[in-house]
């Protein structure tokens, strides 16, 4: 395989995605991306040296997490995580399959010398090559966590999550629970959690909250998410289960929308974070950080809640991305694809590359899909009539395939 290093701009301008991506929208506005989006957001003077200003209890764990916390999916430079610690971030979410384990290694280097009880480290039950199957033997699960401990250079992981959980079968897999209990008895892990952004999100989370087994849940949650989630969060809080939000930027198109003013582009992440943190049942949110400037920009939102102008901005954003953003937890199109193409996963990987700047990771994840977008070439696209948001799935998947396929 030949690796292709693509910048976000290169991805946007490939396959005719840039300024030519213009779709009529039912609301009288259009989805169009800037032809030359900035590689980084223009630093605002008020963002400089921003620090965490809000800490909230993570369920009954006894830990108060930073309301804006650090997602390590794109972390390669330990100094970035170290600066976040210096600014008050105390919760770090990583996984063995983030950048083929280099995220765990970078985090391990960043936390060296930091008093261990001052930070909360979360990793996942998986390997650098991907998720463990639900029937993986207990020994394999234990070894996977011990490998994470070695990469993180720590004697314990605070919480280990069932990663991107898509079924109650995976959630309650006996070998995973037995492995967790043994690791906990050995002092190598402290809390059990689950993460999901799949179509089964609500079923999985409801089951987790009722099972009595889980200390925390981590869910895709944003301005566009479903009302049922708020009920699950309220119940979780009642039962002492921590609630961590992810995928909070609703596709993260904010810095590229040509219908946004420069001020709107700069204000969007903070508005999205404030909306999430306005829910008192949310313990905190995790956002992917890989650059120093993101620390200033994102932490500026800490401790805040949504203003009416931010609410209007979020409504404008959701109108603009209505026909472009594949909703986590939807999945309505999946059973209509005769090739069983994991449409939602492929579109999410395109989002990672195009909007989060994580091209390499997205290409690696795309390469692992059993069926890819080239299958769409001669297909009449029965999936599209099943999408409640009228996303042009076929075109998007063909774009994704051109952008993420290893040459």
Judged by the rule CB under 6 A, the positions of this chain that interact with ligand SF4 are 326-327, 330-333, 337, 339, 341, 343-344, 375-376, 379, 381-383, 386-387, 389, 391, 393-394, 397
Residue (280 or 382) nearer to ligand SF4, CB: 382
Residue (74 or 331) nearer to ligand SF4, CB: 331
Could you tell me if 108 and 88 are in contact, meaning their C-beta atoms sit under 8 angstroms apart?
A: no
Q: Measured from the CB of residue 200, what is the shortest distance to ligand SF4 in angstroms? A: 12
Residue (143 or 202) nearer to ligand SF4, CB: 202
Q: Which is it for strands 64-66 and 55-57: parallel, antiparallel or unpaired?
A: antiparallel
How large is the angle between the packed helices 343-356 and 393-404, nearest 10 degrees?
Answer: 60
Residue 3 CB-density burial (10 A; 0-12 exposed, 13-18 middle, 19+ buried): exposed
DSSP 8-state class, residue 284: E
Helix, coil or strand: residue 131: strand
The whole-angstrom separation of Cα 29 and Cα 43 is: 28
Q: Which residues pair with 284 in a beta bridge?
A: 244
Q: Measured from the CB of residue 324, what is the shortest distance to ligand SF4 in angstroms? A: 10
DSSP 8-state class, residue 204: H
Residue (237 or 394) nearer to ligand SF4, CB: 394
What contacts 323, CB < 8 A, 6 or more positions away? Answer: 23, 25, 31, 389, 390, 391, 392
Q: Measured from the CB of residue 388, what is the shortest distance to ligand SF4 in angstroms? A: 6
Q: Measured from the CB of residue 205, what is the shortest distance to ligand SF4 in angstroms? A: 18
Residue (74 or 373) nearer to ligand SF4, CB: 373
Identify the helix (H) or strand (E) that includes residue 126: strand 126-127
Q: Measured from the CB of residue 17, what is the shortest distance to ligand SF4 in angstroms? A: 17
- Maximal CA-CA distance, the chain: 60
Q: Measured from the CB of residue 118, what is the shortest distance to ligand SF4 in angstroms? A: 40
Q: Measured from the CB of residue 201, what is the shortest distance to ligand SF4 in angstroms? A: 12
Q: Where are the alpha helices (DSSP H) in 260-304?
A: 262-277, 292-299
Residue 88 CB-density burial (10 A; 0-12 exposed, 13-18 middle, 19+ buried): middle
Residue (34 or 379) nearer to ligand SF4, CB: 379
Residue (26 or 308) nearer to ligand SF4, CB: 26
Distance of CA 69 to the CA centre of its chain: 12
Residue (84 or 219) nearer to ligand SF4, CB: 219
Could you tell me if 73 and 358 are in contact, meaning their C-beta atoms sit under 8 angstroms apart?
A: yes
Identify the helix (H) or strand (E) that includes residue 237: helix 227-238
Residue (229 or 270) nearer to ligand SF4, CB: 229
Q: How far is CA 285 from CA 14, 221, 278, in A?
A: 32, 9, 11
Q: Measured from the CB of residue 171, what is the shortest distance to ligand SF4 in angstroms? A: 21
DSSP 8-state class, residue 257: B
Q: Measured from the CB of residue 176, what is the shortest distance to ligand SF4 in angstroms? A: 27
Q: Measured from the CB of residue 391, what is the shortest distance to ligand SF4 in angstroms? A: 5
Residue (192 or 337) nearer to ligand SF4, CB: 337
Q: How far is CA 69 from CA 1, 56, 92, 283, in A?
A: 35, 11, 6, 10
Q: Measured from the CB of residue 326, what is the shortest distance to ligand SF4 in angstroms? A: 3
Distance of CA 343 to the CA centre of its chain: 17
Residue (242 or 373) nearer to ligand SF4, CB: 373
């Amino acid at each position: 395989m030949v690796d292709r290093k693509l910048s976000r701009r290169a991805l946007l301008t490939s396959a005719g995605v840039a300024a030519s991506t213009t779709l009529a929208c039912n609301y009288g506005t259009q989805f169009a991306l800037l032809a030359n989006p900035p590689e980084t957001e223009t630093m605002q003077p008020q963002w400089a040296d921003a620090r965490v200003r809000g800490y909230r209890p993570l369920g009954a764990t006894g830990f108060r997490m930073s309301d804006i916390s650090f997602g390590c999916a794109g972390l390669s430079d330990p100094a970035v995580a170290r600066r976040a610690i210096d600014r008050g971030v105390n919760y770090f979410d990583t996984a063995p399959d983030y950048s083929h384990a280099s995220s765990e290694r970078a985090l391990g280097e960043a936390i060296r010398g930091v008093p261990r009880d001052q930070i909360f480290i979360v990793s996942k039950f998986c390997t650098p090559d991907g998720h463990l199957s639900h029937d993986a033997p207990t020994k394999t699960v234990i070894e996977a966590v011990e490998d994470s401990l070695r990469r993180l250079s720590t004697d314990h992981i605070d919480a280990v999550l069932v990663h991107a959980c898509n079924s109650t079968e995976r959630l309650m897999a006996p070998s995973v629970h037995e492995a967790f209990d043994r690791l906990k008895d050995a002092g190598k892990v402290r809390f059990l959690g689950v993460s999901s952004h799949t179509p089964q999100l609500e079923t999985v989370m409801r089951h987790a909250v009722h099972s009595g087994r889980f200390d925390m849940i981590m869910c895709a949650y944003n301005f566009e998410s479903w009302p049922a989630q708020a009920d699950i969060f309220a119940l979780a809080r009642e039962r002492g289960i921590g609630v961590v939000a992810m995928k909070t930027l609703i596709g993260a198109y904010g810095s590229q929308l040509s219908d946004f003013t420069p001020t709107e582009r700069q204000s969007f992440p903070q508005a999205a974070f404030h909306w999430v943190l306005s829910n008192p049942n949310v313990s905190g949110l995790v956002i992917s950080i890989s650059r120093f400037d993101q620390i200033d920009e994102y932490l500026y939102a800490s401790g805040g809640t949504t203003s009416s102008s931010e609410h209007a901005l979020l409504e404008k954003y959701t109108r603009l991305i209505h026909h472009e953003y594949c909703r986590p937890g939807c999945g309505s199109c999946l059973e209509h694809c005769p090739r069983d193409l994991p449409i939602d996963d492929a579109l999410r990987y395109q989002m990672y590359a195009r909007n989060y700047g994580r091209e390499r990771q997205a290409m690696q994840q795309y390469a692992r899909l059993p069926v890819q977008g080239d299958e769409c070439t001669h297909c009449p696209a029965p999936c599209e009539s099943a999408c409640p948001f009228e996303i042009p799935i076929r075109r998007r998947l063909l774009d994704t395939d051109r952008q993420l396929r290893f040459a």
